[in-house]
Amino acid sequence: MKLAVVINHNVSNTKNVLSKFEEELQKNALEYEVINVDNLKGGYDFICVIGGDGTILKTARYYANYGTPILGINLGRLGFLSQTGTDNIEKVIQCIKNNSYKVQERLMLKSGNFVALNDFVVKGCSTTRTSKFSLKINDKFVCDYIADGIIISTPTGSTAYGLSAGGPILSPDIDCLVIVPICPHTLTARPLVIPAREKITISSMDELLNVAIDGQEYSDKIKEFNIGMSDKKAKLAFLADDDFYSILRNKLHWGISPSSFASDK
């Protein structure tokens, strides 16, 4: 197996975790190469990512072009896309060595040359006021929004910005997209879940648009933005004993009452 370890030097504690990770790899006689997230390259069978969700998102988008599975070691805050934290490295190495992991294919979005695993976030160029957006699906008018912005999210991204904006949590096994208005100026503007193969068009009624891709990259200022499903899918590796619902419980504390947090302190 040709293994790469992707790191992000801008994330704190990377050096210490990488040292421990390399020690375990060498102990298990696994050959590997360490590469920086800003200098990704192909030619590997498996990728380990040491960093936060932003590092994992960038790595996943890149290696979707090669069909290479990636597994994340979380150094960030929530780390919803990562498989494990820094206290579980020995188990991760054993799973890689024994091929005892599972790979999930995750739907991605595409607009022109831009690809997103989590979401596209469309906002007006003015940061001091709301904007008026027009939404079309398959070239048919749906509605106008007066809002701070619109999130177009995959099921993977439904636990990110879309969740904070009041959108639903979607199982990653479902091929669908969710459209979530950000702070809309009407109580009737609710998140909309649609089939993944629909074509979404968002245009500005009064100004140019800014578009963020996975919260990291920005497209040029444009008047109209078209979004559809990418023909490529990201491959995320998970330990065999974990599933989507256990991640909800462990990382979002799903279904745990506030009193439970107080008793843990």
Catalytic residues: 53
Gap between the terminal Cα atoms of the chain: 44
Burial class (CB in 10 A: 0-12, 13-18, 19+), 96: buried
Q: What is the DSSP letter of 38?
A: G
- Give the rounded distance of the alpha carbon of 153 from its chain centre: 9
Q: Give the tokens for residue 28.
A: 């298990």
Residue 128, SS3 per DSSP: coil
| Amino acid at site 104 | Q
Q: Which H/E stretch holds residue 235? A: strand 234-239
How far apart (Å, rounded) are the C-alpha atoms in residues 47 and 237? Answer: 9
| Amino acid at site 106 | R
- Edge-first strand listing for the sheet containing 140-147: 114-116, 109-111, 224-229, 200-204, 131-137, 140-147
From residue 9, give the alpha-carbon distance in Å to each of 6, 37, 41, 90: 10, 9, 17, 22
The partner residues of 122 in beta bridges, in order of sequence, read 150, 211
- Give the rounded distance of the alpha carbon of 265 from its chain centre: 31
Q: Are strands 3-7 and 46-51 parallel, antiparallel or unpaired?
A: parallel
Cβ(64)–Cβ(236) under 8 Å? no
